[in-house]
Amino acid sequence: MIDINQKRIAMLREGRIWFYEPGLPELLARGLARKRITFTASYPAGLSRARFVFVCVPTPTTSEGTLDDSYLRSAFSNIRQYTNAPRPVIVNKSTVPVGTGDVVAHLFEGEDIHVVSNPEFLAEGRAVEDFFHPSRIVIGSRNRIAGEAVAALYAPLRAPVVHTDPVTAEFSKLAANAFLATKVSFANVLSRIGESVGADGEGVAKALSLDPRIGAGHLRAGLGFGGSCLPKDLAAIEQLARRFTDSSGLFGAVASVNRAQRARVVDLLHERFGAIAGRRVAVLGATFKANTDDLRESPALALACQLAELHADVVVYDPVAAPQLRVVAPALHIARSALAAVRGADVTIVATEWPEFAAIDLAAMRRAMSGSLLVDGRGLFDVASAHRAGLDYFSFSTAGIRDCPAEEQLPAVAS
């Protein structure tokens, strides 16, 4: 395994990982103990005798919203420089602008190097599980033998394999993430409609999820999607749609629904408190979702920072991301536990669905708070238990229950 960061290589050699990913430290320890994995910062050392080279470098978004492929280009040029005949097959796992595989293949023309696009579909927080049980393997290759050689590497995983060309493989990755983002925004709009007509958002999501054409994933209403993937890929597909179709509005709407979810919480606090300045706000969770310490594009962190800018007294608790939080958001107060965060709070916002939050004793939370408003941004609780604990409850998925209109009003809505 090659990385240009010497510090990380040194950590990996000792079996240490600098980010939170369940199951990964154990997997690394096993690989090291069995001497099946070694680490180097040297391209020549790492590439010697390689038959396949997996390229898994980051492709961040540029300020113009396109994907930055500079790490990728640098990796490819090193592979070109430091490999000899017989040349390895290059397997690209990085999310790249559609068409990159062919552009790179063109760079290597006449050099007997095959570039295969093999997008990664694993999700953070369940990377190990997803890697060993993938829903599909997509292999984009213009060379049949190279494509089949890569497919053979995955044979023990017994996953369905889609053989296609590189452009299709790359586009299928963007399309999958854009669809997931669309599903989340769709669920969020449904929950808002549900709130007005008196439908329980969770019930609607459950009913939808049992239709195999729809499926269960990404239908949870809440603070919206974040992370390094969905927002970035949504922006990339929106650009393509703008360039090649007159339908970019579809993806623009998905992004704007997503932003609106956070704005709703700010509006709610304005409604309740008048001015937000000086209010004590506890934010439980800072990462973009549970089981990761990733703060990139996190709706939870964005909301906490926005409230701090409005001069609220914001106290954040996150089970794993405190060290990173101190670096990226030094203005926020960081608590050591959920209960410490909610002490004296006018309002508690559950912003990330960490399992430990679901186990919180709501009565103890209420006693610790000075106010009574609980904003359940990730649908962890139910209205009845919140009310039993004396909390005033707002949730994106069950707000419909709270504000259920009188029965006689329903026929008018239905017609």
Kindly state the smallest distance separating residue 397's Cβ from ligand UGA, in Å.
Answer: 10
Single out the residue of 186, 225, 357, 394 in contact with ligand UGA (rule: CB under 6 A): 225
Contact between 227 and ligand UGA (CB under 6 A)?
yes
Distance (Å, whole) CA 277 – CA 192 = 27
| Cα dihedral: 203, 208, 212, 214 (round 10) | -140
What part of residues 12-51 is at the interface with ligand UGA (CB under 6 A)?
Answer: none
Between 286 and 389, CB nearer to ligand UGA: 286
Between 93 and 333, CB nearer to ligand UGA: 93
Nearest to 72 by CA among 88, 89, 92, 52: 92
Single out the residue of 92, 100, 177, 348 in contact with ligand UGA (rule: CB under 6 A): 177
From the list 24-32, 84-92, 215-223, 400-408, the region that binds ligand UGA by CB under 6 A is 215-223
Single out the residue of 218, 264, 296, 366 in contact with ligand UGA (rule: CB under 6 A): 218
**Identity of residue 158:** R
Exactly one of 56, 229, 305, 404 is catalytic; name it. Answer: 229
Contact between 89 and ligand UGA (CB under 6 A)?
no
Contact between 200 and ligand UGA (CB under 6 A)?
no
Q: How many residues bind ligand UGA (CB under 6 A)?
A: 21
Single out the residue of 21, 69, 120, 346 in contact with ligand UGA (rule: CB under 6 A): 120
Which residues lie closer than 8 Å to 227 by C-beta, 6 or more apart? 124, 288, 289, 294, 296, 297, 298
DSSP 3-state of 40: strand
Order of strands, edge to edge, in the sheet holding 333-334?
333-334, 313-317, 280-284, 347-350, 373-376, 392-395
Kindly state the smallest distance separating residue 178's Cβ from ligand UGA, in Å.
Answer: 11
Kindly state the smallest distance separating residue 146's Cβ from ligand UGA, in Å.
Answer: 23
From the list 14-22, 221-229, 335-343, 402-410, the region that binds ligand UGA by CB under 6 A is 221-229
Kindly state the smallest distance separating residue 124's Cβ from ligand UGA, in Å.
Answer: 3
Look up residue 2 and give its DSSP letter.
Answer: B
Contact between 230 and ligand UGA (CB under 6 A)?
yes
- Work out the burial of residue 36: count CB atoms within 10 Å of its CB; fewer than 13 is exposed, 13-18 middle, 19 or more buried: exposed
Single out the residue of 289, 308, 345, 398 in contact with ligand UGA (rule: CB under 6 A): 289
From the list 35-43, 46-54, 69-77, 214-222, the region that binds ligand UGA by CB under 6 A is 214-222
Contact between 214 and ligand UGA (CB under 6 A)?
no
The answer to whether residue 404 is catalytic is no
Distance (Å, whole) CA 318 – CA 316 = 7
Contact between 354 and ligand UGA (CB under 6 A)?
no
Strands 137-140 and 347-350: unpaired
Which residues lie closer than 8 Å to 48 by C-beta, 6 or more apart? 82
Contact between 368 and ligand UGA (CB under 6 A)?
no
SS3 of 161-196: EEEECHHHHHHHHHHHHHHHHHHHHHHHHHHHHHHH
Single out the residue of 39, 82, 108, 121 in contact with ligand UGA (rule: CB under 6 A): 121
From the list 37-45, 69-77, 78-86, 119-127, the region that binds ligand UGA by CB under 6 A is 119-127
Contact between 279 and ligand UGA (CB under 6 A)?
no
Distance (Å, whole) CA 361 – CA 195 = 26
Single out the residue of 76, 288, 394, 396 in contact with ligand UGA (rule: CB under 6 A): 288
Between 320 and 339, CB nearer to ligand UGA: 320
Distance (Å, whole) CA 346 – CA 205 = 31
Which residues lie closer than 8 Å to 206 by C-beta, 6 or more apart? none
Distance (Å, whole) CA 379 – CA 394 = 9
Contact between 220 and ligand UGA (CB under 6 A)?
yes
SS3 of 194-239: HHHHCCCHHHHHHHHHCCCCCCCCCCCCCCCCCCCCHHHHHHHHHH
Q: Which residues bind ligand UGA (CB under 6 A)?
A: 95, 120-124, 177, 180, 184, 218-220, 222, 224-227, 229-230, 288-289
Catalytically active residues are 229
